Structure 1
Amino acid sequence: MAARTRRRGDELIAALYESVLAEFDEVGLGRLTMEGVARRAGTAKTTLYRRWPTPEALLVEAIGAAYPVEEPSPAADDLRGDLIRALELLLEWARHPSARAVQAILADRRRAPELAAGLQEVFDASGRRFTATVLHHYARLGQLDPALLTPVVEDIGEALVFKHGLDTGEEPDRGRLAEIVDQAILPAVGLGR
């Protein structure tokens, strides 16, 4: 248990986000409570209830805050490199406690459909989608045909990264990420190598 300290603003919010993700990691969704999060954060549970009605609401916000935003090169001059970096960012995020929380929630979406829907709303509202973010950036700048950016094309890179992990039990290395980009994503948008 963390000792109680006087934290405010962003420092307090960051501590609460970290605490709810750690608590979820340890106890799971069914045993996640405001009391547990407050104890771990070293703060009063009333502090949490002032901003969030439930621990699940806090969890969804913490996941949204931890979800990375891909920033393609502003000049849009390296699509291949930006796509590889987007997949590397996906792998970095997959190691974060928020990714484990997302995986657990989505794996058990029947038990907590409102929580899964809340996650989807967070991701849809933010427009954060790793390779899709990059592809849409290049399309906005006229370098890709936006008609080719279907939901399937947007998901190809992420799907192949996760399939590699399921098949091998390991993360794909940079060479494998380059193969995914060169052999799947670029051809899907009419830029085969």
Structure 2
Amino acid sequence: MASRSRRRGAELVAALHAAVLAELEEAGLGRLTMEGVARRAGTAKTTLYRRWATPGALLLEAIGAAYPVEEPSPAADDLRGDLIRALELLLEWSRHPSARAVQAILTERHRYPELTAGLQEVFDGAGSRFTATVLRHYARLGHLDPAALTPVVEDLGEALVLKYGIDTGSEPGPDRLAEIVDQAILPAVRAGRVPTGPESE
């Protein structure tokens, strides 16, 4: 349990985000309470209720705050590298407590439909992520045909990373990430490359 301090503003919010994620991992969704989060964060329960009506609302905000944002090459001149970095970012996020919180909610989606709906709102509000962000950036600058960026193509990299984890019980290494990009994503979007556009690789 954290000791009480005079944290305020962003520092306090960050501490409460960390506390609710840690409390979830220890107690589970069914036993997630404001009391437990406040005790872990070393603050008063009333502090939480001033901003969040339920521990679920705090949990969803913590997930949203930790959801990563890609930064593709501004000039869109390294499609392959940007796609690989997007998959690396996915792996980095998968190790974060917020990713495990997402998994906990989705695993019990039928018991917690409101949390599941709230999680979808977090994802919708965040917009596209990972390889979809990269592909849309390149299409916006005229390097790829937007028509080639179907939902299946946008999800391809993430799906193959997930399948690798299910099949092997481990994360794909750098070589496998490069193979996913070279053998799956790039071939899928090359058919829709704008013929007059600059090279994407």
Q: Does TM, scored on the shorter chain, surpass 0.5?
A: yes
Corresponding residue number in structure 1 for 2:76: 76
User: SS where residue 125 of structure 2 aligns?
Assistant: helix
Give the letter aligned to residue 22 of structure 2: A
RMSD value, Cα = 1.3
Superposed, which structure 2 residues align to 1:139-150 within 5 Å?
139-150=139-150
Task: Quote the offset at 1:62 in angstroms.
Answer: 0.2
Superposed, which structure 2 residues align to 1:24-43 within 5 Å?
24-43=24-43
Asked if structure 2 preserves the Cα contact closer than 8 Å seen for 1:70 and 1:128, the reply is: no
* Structure 1 stretches lacking a partner, 5+ long: none
Q: In 2, Cα distance between the equivalents of 1:188 and 1:111?
A: 38
Q: Which moved more, 1:132-141 or 1:109-118?
A: 109-118
- Looking at both structures, which has the greater relative contact order when contacts are Cα pairs under 8 Å and sequence separation is at least 6? 2
Corresponding residue number in structure 1 for 2:116: 116
Would you say how many aligned residue pairs link Structure 1 and Structure 2?
193
Q: In 1, Cα distance between the equivalents of 2:128 and 2:71?
A: 10
Superposed, which structure 2 residues align to 1:1-193 within 5 Å?
1-190=1-190
User: SS where residue 111 of structure 2 aligns?
Assistant: coil
Task: Quote the offset at 1:128 in angstroms.
Answer: 3.8
Task: Quote the offset at 1:187 in angstroms.
Answer: 1.0
Asked if structure 2 preserves the Cα contact closer than 8 Å seen for 1:87 and 1:177, the reply is: yes
User: SS where residue 10 of structure 2 aligns?
Assistant: helix
Percent of aligned pairs with the same residue? Answer: 81
Asked if structure 2 preserves the Cα contact closer than 8 Å seen for 1:69 and 1:128, the reply is: no
Q: In 1, Cα distance between the equivalents of 2:117 and 2:99?
A: 16
Deviations 1:130-176 (A, max 9, x none): 00000000010010111111111111000000100000011000110
Task: Quote the offset at 1:108 in angstroms.
Answer: 1.2
